[in-house]
Structure 1
Amino acid sequence: MPDVPSLVEALGWAPWAIIPLYLLGIGTAVDAVMKSRTPQGSVAWVFALATLPLVALPIYWILGRFKYDDYIDALHEFDARIASGIESALQTGVRDLLVQPSDLHDGEGLREKGEMRAFGEMATLPFTCGNDISLLIDGKATFDAIIPSIESAETYVMVQFYIIHDDEIGTRFQKALIEAAARGVEVRLLYDAIGSWKLPRRYLNELRQAGVHVARFAGPRSWLKKLRLNFRNHRKIVVCDGRTAFVGGLNVGDEYLGRDEKIGPWRDTHLQVKGPTVQGLQLSFARDWFYATREGLAHLEWTPQAASGDDQTALVLASGPADELETCGLLYTHAIESAEKRVWIATPYFVPDGRVLGALQLAALRGVDVRVMMPRTSDSLWFKWVPYAYLPEVERAGVKVFLHEPGFMHQKVALVDDDFAAIGTANFDNRSFRLNFEATMVMHDTAFCEETAEMLEHDFSNATPITREDLEGRSFLFRFAASATRLFAPVL
C-alpha cells in the first residue's frame, strides 16, 4: 500500500488539500464510535475512516448510519401536534378490547404471559381481541381481496408499498385508486423511492391528476441525506375506511402473481385484517405519511371496533431504524427462546445476527422442532449463496433447513408452538431487523396457528431438505462465496 505522501503526489493534490480530508475522516470515526451497533463495527469503521477517508467517507454516509434521525424528529413533532387526539380516540375504543397477560387462563403459564407482556411493550398497538384475520395465500387471492376493498371504500383509502410496477397488476391497481378518488373517496399513496425506482413519472402524474394524494417516503431533501440509501420503507399496508386493512409480503407487480417467466411461480402470504388491529396499521401509515408530507391525519377513523367474524387476539409491530430498541429482532429472538415444541420460519432471505442465530441453535439443542425454509431460486444474485452461508452452524445444532421450489418463495412467516404466528413484511435478516421500516402482525390464536401450520406443512411438502453434505459437495468457489456472503450480512 502506498504511503500518504506518495498517494497525495500520485493524485496531484497539495498537502493542504489532503489534511482536511483526513480530519473529516477522524471526525466521522468519532461518530462511528458513538453510533455503531457493535464493537466490531466501530473498529472496522474507525480503521477505514482514519486510514482511507477518500474511500470510506462516502461508504459510511451511505451504509454506515443506523438511525434515521430526521424520522425521529418527525415523530416528536407528530406526537406534539397530532398524537394526543389519536391516542385519546384509540384508548376510548380499545379499552374494552385490550388483552392483558393477567387475562390469560392459569393453564397458559408464566411463559406465555411473559411473552405477551414483552411483545405488548414493543408493539405499535398492544394485543387486542375482537380481530378477524384471514390468510391470503399468493398473489391472486391477495389482489382479489385488496382491489374490491378499494372499490367498495366509502370514505378513505391509504396505500403504502415498497415496490410498485407499471404493468398489468400495477395498471389495475392504479385504476382502482383513480376510480375511488373519482367517487369522492380520499385516496393517499405512499411509495418508497428506492424500491419503486422503475416507476415512471407518468404513472404518478396520472394518479395526481385524478385527485390521488401521492408522496414518496423521503424527508428533507439535503444532498447529504439523499445519500442514505441503506434505509428503506419496506412496509406494504392498505387501509380502507379504518375498518379493513391488508399487510404482508406482496408488492404491486406482475412477478408477484407468478407472471415473470425467469422467476416462475411466486409463493407469498398476505393478511386481511378486520378489528382493532386495523388502527395499529393505520397509525403506522399516519406516522410515515406525516414524515413524508408533514400532513397530520387526525381526522381519520381512530375508534377501534371489534370485528363481526372471528374473535382473535393480535397486535401490530411497526418497527424501524427510528426505534429506541431493535424491536423486530427482539420479537423474534424472544419468541424463539421461549419456544417449547416448534419454531417454523419461512423467509426469502435468511441472514440472522448472532443473537437470533444463537436462539435458533439453543432451541434446537433443547429438542424444539426448528425448521427454516428458504427459496432454492432467488430474485437477487446476492442471495444465491445465502441458504448455505449459515448451514453448517444451524445444522450442527439440529436446525433443519429446507429449499422451497419451484419458483421463488417470498413469504415472511414464523410459527412458534401453537401459540404465536408472526406474518408481515420483515425478512429474517439484519436489514429487516435494523435498517428497514417494517410491519409485522403477531397473532395469539390457536385456530389461526393451526391454519398457519397447515399452510406451512404444504410448503414443506414442496421443499427439499439440505445438509452440510450438500454444501461440501459443491465447488470450492461456491463454498467460498457462501462463506463470503456472511461478510456482507450487515447490509444484505
Structure 2
Amino acid sequence: MEDEKEPEKKRRFHILPRRHRKKIIAAIVIIVQILGTLTSVRAIMETRTPQGAMAWAISLNTIPYVALPAYWIFGQSKFENYKTGRQRAYTATNPLARAIKEKFVDRGLTSTVDTQSAELLERIARLPYTDFNHVELLINGKATFDAMFEAIDNAKDYILVQFYIVRDDGIGREFRDRLVARAREGIPVYFLYDGIGSHGLDESYMKPLRDAGGQMIAFSGSGEEAHRFQLNFRNHRKVMVIDGREAFLGGLNLGDEYMGRVEKYGDWRDTHVKVTGPAALFVQMSFVEDWSWATGLIPSLSWDATVATSHTQTALCLPFGPADGLETGTLFYLKMINAARERLWIASPYFVPDQQMMSALQLAALRGVDVRVLVPHKSDSFIVGLAMKSFIPACEEAGIKVFWYKEDFMHQKVILADHDLASVGTANFDNRSFRLNFEIMLVVKDALFNTQVAEMLEKDFARSTRIEGAEIKEDSFPQRFMVNLTRLFAPVL
C-alpha cells in the first residue's frame, strides 16, 4: 500500500516543467528590472545630493539585484521627515543658544576680529569667534587619553562624553571604569555613542556605568523619530566636556587601535585638541543638541564661561550636520581653501573630494598656494583606498602635492591655512563628512597655534612619500580599471 502511495507523492512535488521555470525566471528578471527603474526615480527625487542621486540611479538601473537591497537598507531616505525632527531638537535648544551668545557679548568674550574672512566663517558656523581660549594640541593616543583621564579625575560638576566608535576592549573599559568611579562619587555622567559606529557594543559594557548612576544613550532619535533615522546619517563627533570649562575633540575614538595596540594598524597617527575657555561652551552646546535629539531632554549644565589666563587664542566651534539649512561642512572647507594665499595643508584619512572641492584645490594651487594633501598609504577601507588613488593625477596636473603617510595608519583630520589659521576636528575630506555625518571642527585663529600645527605636519610629511601621478599610470589595466570604477561611487562612500 505504501509502495502505491509513493509515486503519487513524487508526482505531487514534481518540479515544474522546464518551460514554466524559464517563464518564472524571465518574469523575476523583468520585475527586478522594473523595481530598479522605479526605485531609481525615487532615489533621484529623494537623495540629498545630485552626486548621490546619480550614483544610485546608475547602480539601480544597471545592477538592480545588488543595488535594490543596498538602497532599501542604506539609501531609502525619509530625509525631510528626519530633518523636521532634528530641527525640533534645535528649536528646543535655540533659546539657550541665544542666551549664551548674548551673555558672551555682554561680557566682552566674543572676538574683536572683524576681517571679512572671520565674519564669513562666523556666518557659516552661526556662532561667534570667542577670545580668551587656550588650545592645546594633543598628538596621538597616549597624550590624548592621558589628558582626558586627568580631566575626568578632576571633574567637579559633570562629564559629557560622545564618541562615534566605542569598543569593549582595554582602553574602552579603562575609560568607562574612570567614568563609573566618578559617577559613584555623585558626578553626573552623560555618555552618547553612535549606534552604527558602535554596532558591536552590548549591554555588559554599559551596565556598570548605568548601575553607578551614569546615563549612556545611543544616538538614534527619540520617539517616532527613531524610526525615521537611517544608516546614512551618523554622528561622527568625538567630544568630551568637563564642567563646561574645558572640551576635547578630534579624530580619536574609544578603542585600542587608537592607542597603537592593534597590530593591523600599528602606531596609529591621530590628532585631538583640548580647549579651555568660552569656546568650550559651544562644544557643550553641540552635545546638548545631540542629547536632546536622542532623548528629548536637556540636561542641567553650567553656562558660565571660563576665561583662560595663559596664552589666549581666538577660536570658533563649528558643528555641522545633514539637518543644517545650508551645507555647512562644504561651505567651511570651500572657504578655507579659497581664502588661502600662501599655504594650504590638509591631512585626512579619506580624500574623496567632489568636483567643486577638487576644482577649489586646483585653483588654489594654480594661483601659487602651497597645497599639500596628506593621506595614509595603508587605508582601513579597500574601496576608499582605491577611490583616493583616482584623484592623484588631477592633483598632480594642477601642482597639488599628495603625500602617502608610510608609517602605519593615519587618521587625523587637520587643515592649516597660511600662517594664522588652523582647524582640528572630526570631519574627513569626503562627501560623507561634508553632507551626511554630524561633525565638529575647532577653528583657531592664532599664529602660535598655526606654527605648532605646521611643525606637527612637517614631521608627518618627513615620514611620508610624495605620490607621483605616473605611479598610478604604471599600474596594470585591471588595477587602473578598479581605481576608476570605485571613483564612480565616490559620492556615496
Deviation (angstroms), 1:229:
1.6
Matched, 1:438 2:450: no
Deviation (angstroms), 1:386:
3.8
Q: Which of 253, 261, 264 does residue 262 from structure 1 map onto?
A: 264
For 2:36 and 2:384, the matched residues in 1 are separated by 35
Tell me the alpha carbon deviations over residues 333-354 of structure 1, each in whole angstroms, 9 at most, x when there is no partner: 1211121101101111100111
Match of 1:314 in 2: 315
Matching residue's letter, 1:412: K
Q: Name the stretch that deviates more: 87-96 or 367-376.
A: 87-96
Matching residue's letter, 1:99: S
Match of 2:473 in 1: 472
Q: Is the 8 A contact 2:46 2:79 kept in 1?
A: no
Q: Name the stretch that deviates more: 364-373 or 60-69.
A: 60-69
Alignment of 1:62-211 (within 5 A): 62-64=73-75, 68-69=79-80, 71-95=82-106, 96-102=108-114, 113-123=115-125, 125-211=127-213
Matching residue's letter, 2:45: V
Q: Is the 8 A contact 1:115 1:335 kept in 2?
A: no
Matching residue's letter, 2:98: E
Match of 1:109 in 2: none
TM-score with structure 2 setting the length = 0.88
Match of 2:12 in 1: none
Match of 2:25 in 1: 10
Tell me the alpha carbon deviations over residues 229-268 of structure 1, each in whole angstroms, 9 at most, x when there is no partner: 2221100000010001100000011110111112111110
Q: Is the 8 A contact 1:62 1:230 kept in 2?
A: no
Tell me the alpha carbon deviations over residues 349-400 of structure 1, each in whole angstroms, 9 at most, x when there is no partner: 1001111100110111111101001111122222332442101001000001
Match of 1:279 in 2: 281
Residues 267/49 of structure 1: CA separation in 2 closer, same or farther (3 Å cut): closer
For 2:123 and 2:454, the matched residues in 1 are separated by 27
For 2:212 and 2:109, the matched residues in 1 are separated by 39
TM-score with structure 1 setting the length = 0.89
Structure 2 segments unaligned to the other structure (5+ residues): 1-19
For 1:66 and 1:441, the matched residues in 2 are separated by 30
Deviation (angstroms), 1:441:
0.6
* Identity of matched residues, %: 45
Matching residue's letter, 1:93: F
Match of 1:483 in 2: 484
For 1:248 and 1:91, the matched residues in 2 are separated by 28
Residues 419/123 of structure 1: CA separation in 2 closer, same or farther (3 Å cut): same
Q: Name the stretch that deviates more: 28-37 or 161-170.
A: 28-37
Task: Look at both structures and tell me which one has the larger radius of gyration over its CA atoms.
Answer: 2
Deviation (angstroms), 1:482:
1.8
Deviation (angstroms), 1:280:
1.1
Q: Is the 8 A contact 1:94 1:303 kept in 2?
A: no
Q: CA RMSD in A?
A: 2.8
Match of 1:242 in 2: 244
Q: Is the 8 A contact 1:124 1:316 kept in 2?
A: no
Residues 398/54 of structure 1: CA separation in 2 closer, same or farther (3 Å cut): closer
Match of 1:108 in 2: none
For 1:31 and 1:42, the matched residues in 2 are separated by 6
Tell me the alpha carbon deviations over residues 90-145 of structure 1, each in whole angstroms, 9 at most, x when there is no partner: 4213441112553xxxxxxxxxx222122101215321111100100000000000
Q: Is the 8 A contact 2:78 2:228 kept in 1?
A: no
Q: Secondary structure at the match of 2:129?
A: strand
For 1:487 and 1:457, the matched residues in 2 are separated by 33
Q: Name the stretch that deviates more: 259-268 or 65-74.
A: 65-74
Residues 232/131 of structure 1: CA separation in 2 closer, same or farther (3 Å cut): same
Q: Is the 8 A contact 2:235 2:438 kept in 1?
A: yes
Deviation (angstroms), 1:477:
2.3
Deviation (angstroms), 1:329:
1.5
Deviation (angstroms), 1:309:
2.2
Q: Is the 8 A contact 1:349 1:374 kept in 2?
A: yes
Tell me the alpha carbon deviations over residues 266-307 of structure 1, each in whole angstroms, 9 at most, x when there is no partner: 11000001111111111111111111111112x211232321
Q: Is the 8 A contact 2:235 2:437 kept in 1?
A: yes
Tell me the alpha carbon deviations over residues 134-186 of structure 1, each in whole angstroms, 9 at most, x when there is no partner: 10000000000001101111111010001111111111101111011011100
Matched, 1:290 2:292: yes
Q: Name the stretch that deviates more: 24-33 or 380-389.
A: 24-33
Deviation (angstroms), 1:7:
9.1
Alignment of 1:267-416 (within 5 A): 267-297=269-299, 299-416=300-417
For 2:23 and 2:70, the matched residues in 1 are separated by 21
Structure 1 segments unaligned to the other structure (5+ residues): 103-112
Deviation (angstroms), 1:430:
0.8
Q: Secondary structure at the match of 2:416?
A: strand
Tell me the alpha carbon deviations over residues 303-324 of structure 1, each in whole angstroms, 9 at most, x when there is no partner: 3232122221111111111111
